[in-house]
Chains A and B, each alone.
Chain A
């Protein structure tokens, strides 16, 4: 239909000039046109600071943490000290008052050195902190945000053995007992859970209402959360992934976040943003692998020349660089769209899906470019490839991302 296509074309983003903006666009006006290489002074300074922290403090410990499948507590302390665990949290609540892109930058820079450390920072900031900032009452913010910014690590507990992609088929129940709630059930695949003290738990208070009964609760470990089996994984081994058990876990009613039955909405919205965080982690991972392998190819000589100067290698390296750039642009564009208050769900899904694919490809190539050395654990290149696989699985599998994108397209075109 001609009118439908005309209407839908008006909804497409427009190139706006500095001096005026088209008023019949439904999205907010953008005041300036610039490349995605534009960052504020604070964002640039943060990138430098995190890069140095990652290289100097995290770098020397990466291999040991991976081999031992254990996150060094001094790294967690270091992240808190650098103010990296309350990036977007307002200053009055103990945070740094930074932009969303600042969080993305920190996650990317950490991932260049260790994707395990990066995901720890990502989950804490983009999932847990943001839930408090957006859905908690002022009283709850004053109670929890300072702790989250200063010293206590958090976990986001949604998935269960029987509910991953089908998240809202979760079986954990919360039943009212006087003024408290009693939570019963188990969660699985929970990041940070071995070291965390604060847990956001999604449980259903009224299964007859289906997903509309899902509610978000905050609990601390000492309330009686049982940390069970720690998974032995292919990659991001230093990031703890455990099952949790709640046996009549008593939680006071003031620990309900966002209101009863609002858990579904909270989880859906938060995972949207979290997607951009994972995209940043995958982007950093891919870049880290690239940065480790490529210089080596210009040093290693065979048949009288550096292997990186053979045309075949040049084409592979250039191709990987193109893919890195695409992942970078998708990620930063999604981040800026979100900051502008514009719709970003489709773009976030695209960024996460694509960045995880690029991470797999580029890290795999990086191993091959470094040949036998790339295959040894000592050089740290193979670790990126092992770490990258999770990108296609957690915070929404690649198939789920594609389905999300397809739904948008269907809506636009039919």
Chain B
């Protein structure tokens, strides 16, 4: 009996334009957030996601039918999509919001992604995204998306193997106790952790080719999703400045100091 046709993999990679990791963050005078007039770049965990998608194509070749990047952000966020295209994505979607609009919250992002996935005629088999964004460190979008779609999820991935024929993913996850291997049925949501891979540098020919790759423009209204924030940030402050320590000469002195600081039980 002939095996059922192997469905080709369509990979979706959501990416976020976030404050660059090398920037020295300063809290704004109103204490409502950080100064955003600084360098932005693709969230490093999302770069790892794009890289993993490209590596899946290098491994599975023609079985990876498409790699599509998607971002939600102001007009400038298209630069992030271009970076993804330069790394090897085939096409992209820009859900554009106004320049000074507040960033959408994870649930709104997950709903947006769900809607986009529904609209993909060819379907989506694998969604790979960063485990968290380095600006808000919320780390929930991938999980929420899996919940909304009812799909399998494998988060904090440090290794990903896909079997298109069996429609399975074998993912090694980094957890507190060590590593865990999970086997998931496709379609699957995977979130990337730091040790999954080291992203490539976009070579100049690929940067030039990225110019010709498509960027589809959408708005939240097109997708019927409300981005009104459900959470209100009350106050943002810097952590307390480090004060100098002191040296102790023996264990008794150490214990006395710890008691003084109220750190011991007795």
* A 64-87 contacts with B by CB, 8 A: 81-84, 87
Given A45-B82, A45-B83 in contact, is the A81-B203 Cβ separation under 8 Å?
yes
What are some 18 contacts across the A-B interface (CB < 8 A)?
A: A41-B82, A44-B79, A45-B79, A45-B82, A45-B86, A45-B202, A49-B203, A53-B201, A81-B203, A83-B203, A83-B204, A83-B205, A83-B206, A87-B204, A96-B207, A98-B204, A98-B208, A102-B204
Across the interface, which residues of A come within 8 angstroms of B208, CB to CB? 42, 91, 96-98
Nearest-neighbor residue (CB-CB) of A51 within chain B: B201
List chain B positions with a Cβ less than 8 A from chain A.
Answer: 41, 79, 82-83, 86, 201-208, 210-211
Nearest-neighbor residue (CB-CB) of A45 within chain B: B207
Across the interface, which residues of B come within 8 angstroms of A48, CB to CB? 41
Contact A82 B201 (CB under 8 A): yes
Contact B204 A96 (CB under 8 A): yes
A414 CA to B66 CA in the complex, in Å? Answer: 66
Across the interface, which residues of B come within 8 angstroms of A95, CB to CB? 205
Pick from B79, B202, B211: contact of A49, CB under 8 Å: B202
7 closest Cβ contacts across the A-B interface? A83-B204, A96-B204, A83-B203, A83-B205, A96-B205, A82-B203, A45-B207
In whole Å, how far is A144's beta carbon from the nearest beta carbon of chain B?
18
> Any chain B CB within 8 A of the CB of A270?
no
Contact A52 B201 (CB under 8 A): yes
A102 CA to B205 CA in the complex, in Å? Answer: 12
Across the interface, which residues of B come within 8 angstroms of A227, CB to CB? none
In whole Å, how far is A85's beta carbon from the nearest beta carbon of chain B?
9
Across the interface, which residues of A come within 8 angstroms of B203, CB to CB? 49, 81-83, 96
Please report whether the interface of chain A is mostly helix, strand, loop or mixed according to DSSP.
helix
A188 CA to B191 CA in the complex, in Å? Answer: 57
Across the interface, which residues of B come within 8 angstroms of A84, CB to CB? 204
Across the interface, which residues of A come within 8 angstroms of B83, CB to CB? 45
Pick from A41, A53, A91: contact of B205, CB under 8 Å: A91
Contact B204 A46 (CB under 8 A): yes
A95 CA to B204 CA in the complex, in Å? Answer: 9
Across the interface, which residues of A come within 8 angstroms of B204, CB to CB? 46, 49, 82-84, 87, 96, 98, 102, 106
Contact B205 A49 (CB under 8 A): no
Contact B211 A42 (CB under 8 A): yes
Q: Which residue, of A44, A45, A56, A81, has the highest number of chain B Cβ atoms within 10 A?
A: A45
Nearest-neighbor residue (CB-CB) of A106 within chain B: B204
A87 CA to B203 CA in the complex, in Å? Answer: 10
A46 CA to B83 CA in the complex, in Å? Answer: 10
Contact A41 B79 (CB under 8 A): yes
Q: Which residue, of B79, B83, B202, B205, has the highest number of chain A Cβ atoms within 10 A?
A: B205
Nearest-neighbor residue (CB-CB) of A94 within chain B: B205
A265 CA to B203 CA in the complex, in Å? Answer: 34
Chain A window 31-50, contacts with chain B (Cβ cutoff 8 Å), 1 for yes, 0 for no: 00000000001101110110
A263 CA to B79 CA in the complex, in Å? Answer: 44
In whole Å, how far is A5's beta carbon from the nearest beta carbon of chain B?
46
In whole Å, how far is A74's beta carbon from the nearest beta carbon of chain B?
14
A46 CA to B201 CA in the complex, in Å? Answer: 10
A324 CA to B41 CA in the complex, in Å? Answer: 26
